[in-house]
Structure 1
Amino acid sequence: MSKPESRLLRIAGHLKGDKSGDKKSSLTVIDNRDGKKLEVEIKNGVVRSKDFWKLKLRTYDPGYKNTASCTSKITFIDGEKGVLRYRGIPIEELAEKSTFLEVSYLLMYGKLPTKSQFEYYRQRVMRHTYVHEELKRVVGSFRYNAHPMGMLISTVTAMSTFHPEANPALAGQKVYGNRQLRN
């Protein structure tokens, strides 16, 4: 590898938040049953439990106290320290300085909106806040003792039939790929 390439890799590693640059982050595990060694990659402070399958081992974490179910650029949670961030912004700051719609924009588009982006987004969202009379009938049709979660699931599903143009699965990229929202 040439000097400029090596330098670019170190810079790229720094920009991604990887403090190791060219250094390899790994964990070496020695299986005392048979002496086999396993090198497990450490990425962002995480090892993949699937890597231990090579030693015919599974991991067990009752209550999922130290298990991440996925990686996310949207949300960071550290329950022990009481940390919750959306897109890198502490939840306390968002709760104090941002509206619900601003936070929903942040979650969808990766940054807080400008005034013009917010106004356009607000108008698009508010256009769909009217509760259709037919939807009121759907909600009214549940038994008085129906479980709230079943009612919520059914109502949200029914809502999707009233505004199919707002469903990303049906409308395609135009819902999230709108230039006016991003610029």
Structure 2
Amino acid sequence: IGEPLVYPSIKYKYTSNFMNMMFSSPVRDYQLDTDIVRAIDMLLILHADHEQNCSTSSVRTAGSSMANVYAVITAGIAALWGPRHGGANQEVIKMLEQIHAEGGDGTEFINQAKDKNSNRRLMGFGHRVYKNFDPRAQVLKQHCDKLLNKPGINDPLLDIARRLEEIALSDDYFISRKLYPNVDFYSGLILRAAGIPTNMFTVLFA
């Protein structure tokens, strides 16, 4: 809030411009990281091309009334206000923050999530449509792994996330129930590694 407006530059492509406009200022340059730009680019593509979710349907329905483009986009954004659409990757980060605050590495949290009498929920695993591994998650995992292995990426939450992934991919409880890491799990980690604030996650989803 209060930052000067940064205009797009003709020397950058779409995602590079987006990152530069988000993080640079007239008095502070932003050094673009090609791995981060590629990961964000892929994330935007995978979210844009994913059939008829709630906000997409809202946009198409509003557009069918011949509403102007501003009203149509507003309809799609408004659909994200509800708790059942959008925000899942933000919940992943909140879960990781909770585990870190409790001083754990994720092992105990996993055990509690497996207990049906516990109110612990493992966010970012499983999918209502994809009963096997989410194909989008497989693509994002490659970019996520590359980012987390970069020198200078030192975040305890990302270490916890890797531990959760490791346990879930080898635990019969999750394998038998096909509870694999989904696109929200990896997208949350990518956005955090890119330095994007958690409260901006749903904005990017929009």
The TM-score, its normalising length taken from structure 1, stands at 0.38
- If the length of structure 2 is used for normalisation, what is the TM-score? 0.34
The structure richer in strand per residue is 1
Comparing both structures, which one devotes a greater share of its residues to helix?
A: 2
Which of the two has higher C-alpha Rg? 1
Structure with more contact order per residue of length (Cα contacts < 8 Å, sep ≥ 6):
2
